[in-house]
Structure 1
Amino acid sequence: MGLIEEMIGDRVASARAHLGDLPIEEPVRIALAEMAAACTDRAV
C-alpha cells in the first residue's frame, strides 16, 4: 500500500473513531461512516 493510501486509511479510521464518541443518532452515524467510505473508494 502506498503512503497516500495509508494516510487516507488512517484518517478514515480516525474519523470513524470520532463518530463513535459523538452524541448523534445511529442512522446519522451510519450515514456519515458510509459517506467517508464512499469518498475514499478508488475507481478501478
Structure 2
Amino acid sequence: MLNQTVLFMSLILQIAIVLTNLKMHLLTSKICRVRSICLK
C-alpha cells in the first residue's frame, strides 16, 4: 500500500515538473518572439 502511494506521489511530481518545463518553454519562446519583433 505504501509502495503505491510513493509511486503515485512520484508520478504527480513528474507531471508537475513536465508542466512547469512546458510553461517555461512557452514563456521563453514568447519573450524571444517579442524581442525579435522589437529588434526589427
TM range (shorter): 0.5 to 0.7
Size of the aligned set, in residue pairs, is 24
Question: Structure 1: 5+ residue runs without aligned partners?
Answer: 25-44
Higher helix share: 2
Match of 2:22 among 17, 22, 27: 17
Instruction: Report the Cα distance in structure 2 between the residues aligned to 1:10 and 1:21, rounded to whole angstroms.
Output: 16
Q: With CA pairs under 8 Å and 6+ residues apart, which has the higher RCO, 1 or 2?
A: 1
Question: Structure 2: 5+ residue runs without aligned partners?
Answer: 1-5, 33-40
* Structure 1 moving runs of 4+ over 3 Å: none
Relative to the length of structure 2, the TM-score reads: 0.52
Q: Hey, what does 2:3 align to over in structure 1?
A: none
Q: Which one has the largest radius of gyration?
A: 2
Relative to the length of structure 1, the TM-score reads: 0.48
CA RMSD across the alignment? 1.8
